[in-house]
Amino acid sequence: MINNFNGGNDVGYFVNAEPGVKLYAEDLNPKGGKTIVFLHGWPLSHKQFEYQFKVLPRMGYRCIGIDWRGFGQSDKPFDGYHYNRLADDIHAVIRSLRLDRFILVGHSTGGAIAIRYMSRYSGEGVSKLVLIDAAAPIGFTAETADRLLKEAAHDRPKMMRGITETFFFQYITEPFSDWFFRLGLEAAGWSTEAVINLLRDENLYADLSKISAPTLIVHGIHDKVIPFSQAQQLNQNIRNSQLIPFHYSGHGLFWEERDRFNRILSQFIDLPRRSGIQSQENGAGSRNDWELV
């Protein structure tokens, strides 16, 4: 069931993920051409993609941002914070909106959820996959998770300030920092902590070989949250994938190098699957049947 939140060309939906739990989805340019579905990172919301949402719809793309359960404008139940349930939630939205042949884009933990969706649902409806600084195949070490859990339990706003300071490689202004900080506080405290546990306790090694869609992997080489070496692991284990490093970014390349990211994303979306084009963006070789110029 879909509840229309507002009218006009851009639409907000509340979608039933399961009895008693509704997820929020923002649909920009719903009459556009190719559809891109965005999954945000922890502990943010679809609003983190502001610098994509104000550009890509004007280029003719339909952009849909989904808030996971517990985050942003979605309902905030006390349970359901594991990869299978989060992938099921995304599937519920995709089914409700009757999406097909869409590009699935996931940042950080959103990338991990996208990977589980591809594995659990055999990539249903997905034509191409984009992983941005993905928290995969593992998320947090036990040491990092335990530290964040302790901070979240005692002073969650302070923890979020620390996340903001670690997130970016490039300089951010104080107003931008405040905006980003507030995005993290839109989440519930219990969902914030539950996903820390998820990132510590679950891994996605077995999922990677089940992905067959063309996959673009982009990652900031200065990422202090999820090291660049994990992107290299993904590239090695996801067939038909290409890794493009972002040399001036940390964990937030969607903002730090937004013009380049938007350009590369558009090129990837519009690239024929079997192009035979040689890559100049990627320094390393890949085993895929497509490559970006």
Q: Which residues are catalytic?
A: 108, 223, 251
Q: Identify the helix (H) or strand (E) that includes residue 113.
A: helix 109-120
Residue in this structure with the two tokens 């077995």, named with its chain if needed: 206
Cα–Cα distance measured from residue 44 to residue 180, given in angstroms and rounded to the nearest whole number: 8
Helix (H, G, I), strand (E, B) or coil at 218: strand
Cα–Cα distance measured from residue 246 to residue 232, given in angstroms and rounded to the nearest whole number: 13
* Residue 130 near residue 103, CB atoms below 8 Å: yes
CA-based diameter of the chain, in Å? 54
Cα–Cα distance measured from residue 256 to residue 74, given in angstroms and rounded to the nearest whole number: 27
Strands of 111-240 (E only): list them.
126-132, 215-220
Q: What separation in angstroms does the CA of 225 have from each of 62, 145, 203, 272, 277? A: 30, 11, 16, 33, 33
* Residue 167 near residue 211, CB atoms below 8 Å: no
Bridge partners of 26, per DSSP, are 12, 65
Q: Identify the helix (H) or strand (E) that includes residue 245.
A: strand 241-246
Residue in this structure with the two tokens 């670690």, named with its chain if needed: 166
